[in-house]
Structure 1
């Protein structure tokens, strides 16, 4: 049986609800000035924007306009180009800030005698291209077509590798989790069997009292772009100051109690695919995305592995809905007569349909609209048709299902590893903050 990616044309993912209210400026309720400067400050000379262009010299390392343009192009590509000129100007400032942090991370790693072999970067770059089903040469052309360059993406990969390696040497050895702490977590998990657990992604932006309003406004703009379809993992890589930025902000599976109250409360009210934020947390603001949710130590039928046959019928170009409807109605009724996957070949021949076999597909990985249908489907039955006249009409026939094993308590090593990662993440933020404070940065 040949394997293939199931084509789910026309299935629309759940939209992200509006989470951000309009921000108002009210001097009467403004917080007290943390520097004690009073509220009657007068600027004695105008600021000339031309003095501070989007280039910088960071401890002697130059970041050029081209560097910013090429990295910005990757962000724009992840957003489908749906960004205004005004927002693009703001993004340039943020991209420059990210490039400065990236440069500082590479420099700090080098100061600790950590270097990244270009061959390692090339291997990671090739793996990134493989995710798009591109050879390295084809991936190069894809990146250039976006207006960026392979060198820009490879530098980002180098920065992520250098920072992770630095943390593993300078931070992780000094982070410890005791057996008692691990046992307490395991005991709480056992006591909370059946409680909700969430697969969460996060973008964290650090803020100080002096930069709070600026960072909040930037976080709100990021949320607006995410609501318009921007890629959360891509934005997390570019903007997030947490160590999870390297993996697109993915926090993995967590329980609400493991997060600060400011994050736990909205998380309990969210559904898969929804956003929350910006949410004030210690040291800055977080933006949350709920990827999925499940119950602790409880088997989820969506974790079943299924074998499917996808049957697809197509229509001539420019077929309108009225013309396609009779065929769709007949196809829908005929699907109800299927009695097992053994009849799919004859059924497909009758309808001149294409058939794609897929094995070991997890129901959870399918679009949310299809998951409950497949959970309730019996072997040999077909889903209702889905799709559209342009991309064709599809139906999935269930040929086999391997139900998931009963959930067990994670091992002590797994719990310890997760707790260690959380503590390393916190120390990494502080480490980068200290590096920034001591840096010499000249803007041109």
Structure 2
């Protein structure tokens, strides 16, 4: 989640919004644009229902975003694109705060300070150190507290004005449990999504922007979640675009078709969906109510051979070769300490690692190992060479149905999320926004 997402947590899900009928527009077939217009050429300041968003507000929030994601220098083009995204977020944030106040919801200074202190602790800083850190990043304490206020105000508004009117029936829950039981063995996909809205006039530009985002994702300099938080226009932006575990039946047809063709770790897009385009990232997949070997919990010993500063490539190669030969002498976990000592390697025990939490290529190796065997060495000259020895494995039990409460909570979250999107859309439509 973002730096100030201190009280989030609802499981987000992609849902088709069928509540608003598609109204045909009376647009000439051979239209002509009179005058020049580029929606992306805009000074990053605005007045939203008489609330001013200044250029400083935008710059400081950009600094906050970059600091939260440990981003270094970004290109001028990326910064300008981020500025426009931040401006849209600040407009939404302003509308949310205004709507909360209209409904007599005000976040007090002590509440904001308490959340601010918690964020500071997450960064291993006290409030004063956090303020200094933000200033160095080109942001400010005020900017972070403003984001905290927006998040808390909107969450409280949803709890008071939306959640009480979302009702989940027992029969509805039972029907879902019955469908889950009937779909045992069906594949589920753990997906993340970036959604970009588009219409006929902006479709080409949005597709071009999506391709640019995909290019940046594939460079691997930032995780997918970073781009989802900065560019996605869905409410799942707050959780890095995480859709959770979903089956194709609950996905729009276009996303379902793409997910079924993807491999774990793959990015797909831009995918045309109703109202815009999506970029998908498949983090994992499994079968419904079926035990997955990758859920096995492993008991491991990790050997690490570090290279001191100044180690030459030849020296590193020689030590790595000695490490590889030593691994061949491992005969069960009882011999690990002796073998490690012979080459000056460190040993660390871990009894709670799941196969699926390992990098895919390493997880595949672990599934083929017998107790007492070692992986081949892996690592880098900078971080050292490592190997994992399998000391035990607790295989997963057959998958179990979720409880009625779990299903009800998920349905509640989905519907609150959908109504929140609809409410924000209505606020945008009614807002008076003047760009400067």
Tell me which residue corresponds to 1:73: 63
Aligned-residue offset at 1:152: 2.4
- Structure 2: stretches of 5+ with no match in the other structure: 1-23
User: 2:40–2:84: 8 Å Cα contact kept in structure 1?
Assistant: no
Normalising by structure 2, we get a TM-score of: 0.84
Tell me which residue corresponds to 2:95: 104
Aligned-residue offset at 1:217: 3.8
1:193 is aligned, of 184, 193, 200, to 184
User: 1:205–1:286: 8 Å Cα contact kept in structure 2?
Assistant: yes
> C-alpha distance in 2, partners of 1:430/1:319?
59
Normalising by structure 1, we get a TM-score of: 0.82
Is 1:205 matched up with 2:181?
A: no
Is 1:349 matched up with 2:341?
A: yes
Aligned-residue offset at 1:401: 3.1
> C-alpha distance in 1, partners of 2:109/2:93?
17
Tell me which residue corresponds to 1:233: 225
Is 1:248 matched up with 2:240?
A: yes
> C-alpha distance in 2, partners of 1:161/1:55?
24
- Pair 1:375–1:140, CA change in 2 (3 A): farther
2:331 is aligned, of 333, 339, 346, to 339
> C-alpha distance in 2, partners of 1:283/1:51?
23
> C-alpha distance in 1, partners of 2:39/2:406?
51
Aligned-residue offset at 1:398: 2.7
1:156-212 per-position Cα deviation (integer Å, ceiling 9, x unaligned): 233223222222222233333333333332222222212211111222233344544
Aligned-residue offset at 1:367: 1.8
Aligned-residue offset at 1:369: 2.1
- Pair 1:372–1:81, CA change in 2 (3 A): same
Tell me which residue corresponds to 2:291: 299
1:265 is aligned, of 257, 272, 276, to 257
> C-alpha distance in 2, partners of 1:340/1:204?
50
Tell me which residue corresponds to 2:145: 154
> C-alpha distance in 1, partners of 2:287/2:223?
27
> C-alpha distance in 1, partners of 2:121/2:282?
26
Tell me which residue corresponds to 1:29: none
> C-alpha distance in 1, partners of 2:118/2:349?
26
> C-alpha distance in 2, partners of 1:48/1:192?
49
User: 2:329–2:339: 8 Å Cα contact kept in structure 1?
Assistant: no
> For 1:3-82, what aligned pairs fall within 5 Å after superposition?
34-37=25-28, 39-44=30-35, 52-76=42-66, 78=69, 80-81=71-72
Is 1:381 matched up with 2:376?
A: no
Moved more, 74-83 or 376-385: 74-83
User: 1:200–1:253: 8 Å Cα contact kept in structure 2?
Assistant: yes
RMSD in angstroms over aligned alpha carbons? 2.9
Aligned length, in residue pairs: 411
Tell me which residue corresponds to 2:164: 173
User: 2:302–2:349: 8 Å Cα contact kept in structure 1?
Assistant: yes
User: 2:326–2:343: 8 Å Cα contact kept in structure 1?
Assistant: no
> C-alpha distance in 1, partners of 2:115/2:361?
34
